[in-house]
Structure 1
Amino acid sequence: MAVLDWVLNSDPAIRWQALRDLAGAPADAVAAERARVTTDGWGARLLALQGEDGQWDGGACFPARWGETADGQSGEEAGQPWTSTLPTLQLLLDFGIDPHDDRVRRAVGQVHEHCHWEHAGQPFFDGEVEACINGRTVALGVYFGQDVEGVVARLLGEQLDDGGWNCWTEFGSVRSSFASTICVLEGLLAHERATGGSAESIAARRRGEEYLLERSLFRRKSTGEVVDPAWLRFSFPTRWHYDVLRGLEYFRAAGDPPDKRVDEAVRLLESRRQPDGTWPLENTHPGKVHFALEDGDGRPSRWNTLRALRVLDWYR
């Protein structure tokens, strides 16, 4: 209960999800707290930062002035910036902001009308060329009521023989990427929930799940070695990156009974729990942000604790 109280002592974006997923609060109390995401705290702050051009920080995936930092670092040294339209909308989705609120609808309408991808000038909700971007575009489009059927069709046509996806497919890659695959799976799941999906999209999503499950969510299928030690440390926001907690959260959201092949990943998750019952923030992805959501790596994380606890509730 002390951990739950600590999680609840936070921004409405966390509070409403903890009330729903951990506290079993009445639906009206959950709805009232969720409504505050648009008017108070982080969600309201992000909405207020939208530019007159309908974008955040002047770009779809990259800010208009990418590379300019206060301390003189290059863009590469400072990390990828996270203040443009794509990562900002992803945060609003993560916050669970009400997509039917008039302020949100107006904001998304501005994106629809004015935001275009840097790659070739495509309208934002028409998608780009990289699977990791298009998977997130599908999730965002479904959440905010936009037509992303064309992006879904493209993703279905780009699934690789091993069951996953890779952003480098256009350059000849035939081996899937965990990061690209999790982004696409989240998008296809959201699309399926909203529309019922198609036989083809459901089959593709199941094949993508098998790609992760065959690898226990973090191991090489060929050798059993850990693919990337960074995946064993949990971040929030995850951005386009993969880690074990993100993989587990996907399977929790999908709602199927836990497959035995996630057992090792769950044991890893449990091992990261601190003596006080919280989970720390461990792997913040560097780059310019609108504002901080946590106290920094190594400190207790309300986001990771919320996410870990609901994964364990599903697993048990």
Structure 2
Amino acid sequence: MTGGDATADARIDWLLAVDPAIAWQVRRDLLGEPPAAWRPDRARVETQGWGARLLAHQDPDGQWAGGAFVPAGFTPEQWAQEGQPWTATTYALTQLRELGLDPGSERARRTVELVGRHARWDHDGQPFWAGEVEECINGRTVADGAYFGVDVGPIVTRLLADQQPDGGWNCERAAGSVRSSFDTTINVLEGLWQHELATGGTAATRAARAAGEEYLLARGLFRRLSTGEPADPAMFDLLYPARWHFTVLRGLDHFRATGSSPDPRLGDAIERLLARRRPDGRWPLDRHLAGRVWFGLDDGPGRPSPWITLLALRVLRWWAN
């Protein structure tokens, strides 16, 4: 990866020093090191850095902030004033998955059991690992559950039934939408991929994932199919954590993660990513999402972002191979 390039060497050294959650993924995804080399860093996610900090905020009953989707007692008025909160159980679990908490660890297994016992969805009190009715939530629950070893097959079955005729998904389907959205589709695709990693998937789940990926590819990750114009300028923002939001970088990283061959239709998205690279070889964070968080994962908008840089570098490594 470094190849004697001083800028690349400094960038890798910077990433390795940030946090165990970054370090183990750098070793695996950028340096191509074997599991024996990156597993020690991954194990430290539970006890050091961001992973340990997030686990320290866990409630005794296994939840975070006393709620599945929103913190206990959080009101619509607070949502309007502060923005959507990101501190409840569903977003904590997604963050732990992205940090790389070892799903086989005692802490992870205990968390899964406690969440299953105590967490209930705000929608209608459904048990957490049974999912609810909204596709974005169900997609992330499948991703988190599959990663942490939960049987999420019934939610997967529901998501297959909820797929739109154009190949993607839309969380407004229940309100009558018959067209997909980028946001919902990426959440479901990530869930289907994690389920496939965990179980091997089925012909039906693989076909559903392929159709959803074609929905994104046909649009080059950001264009309206009808006009070819960008669907939303916010898709180009360099944003992490993305939560339920679609970004072009998130879409690129999904295709990288699946190991699929780079599709030429992603070329424009790659060019836009390259254009945002700083002279020092790093990428900046553009903005934070509004809303409560437990703590920050960066030095603020406009500053070099370890997460964005990691994601961008591994996408470009995949694209070049």
Same fold by TM (over 0.5)?
Answer: yes
In 2, Cα distance between the equivalents of 1:44 and 1:108? Answer: 16
Does residue 37 of the first structure (1) align with residue 45 of the second (2)?
yes
> Could you say which residue in structure 1 is the equivalent of 2:133?
129
The AA in structure 2 aligned to 1:66 is F
In 1, Cα distance between the equivalents of 2:215 and 2:141? Answer: 21
The AA in structure 1 aligned to 2:23 is R
Residue 67 (structure 1) shift: 4.6
Q: List aligned pairs for 1:1-316, cutoff 5 A.
A: 1-67=9-75, 74-316=78-320
List, as ranges, runs of 4+ consecutive aligned residues in structure 1 with deviation greater than 6 Å: none
In 2, Cα distance between the equivalents of 1:37 and 1:49? Answer: 15
SS of residue in 2 equivalent to 1:28: helix
SS of residue in 2 equivalent to 1:300: coil
User: TM-score when scaled to structure 2?
Assistant: 0.95
| 8 Å contact from structure 1 (residues 131, 167) kept in 2 | yes
CA-based RMSD: 1.2
Residue 21 (structure 1) shift: 1.2
| 8 Å contact from structure 2 (residues 185, 212) kept in 1 | yes
In 1, Cα distance between the equivalents of 2:23 and 2:295? Answer: 19
The AA in structure 1 aligned to 2:301 is D
Indicate how the Cα distance of structure 1 residues 26 and 201 shifts in structure 2: closer, same or farther if over 3 A, else same.
closer
In 1, Cα distance between the equivalents of 2:147 and 2:160? Answer: 20
| 8 Å contact from structure 1 (residues 165, 177) kept in 2 | yes
Once the two structures are superposed, what CA deviation does each residue of 1:203-259 show, in whole Å capped at 9, x if it has no partner? 111000110011000000000111000011111101000000000000001111101
SS of residue in 2 equivalent to 1:74: helix
Residue 22 (structure 1) shift: 1.4
Residue 52 (structure 1) shift: 2.1
Residue 195 (structure 1) shift: 1.2
Percent identity at matched positions? 57
SS of residue in 1 equivalent to 2:12: helix
The AA in structure 1 aligned to 2:19 is D
Aligned length: 312
> Could you say which residue in structure 1 is the equivalent of 2:6?
none
User: TM-score when scaled to structure 1?
Assistant: 0.96
In 1, Cα distance between the equivalents of 2:56 and 2:117? Answer: 18
| 8 Å contact from structure 2 (residues 287, 300) kept in 1 | no
| 8 Å contact from structure 1 (residues 62, 84) kept in 2 | yes
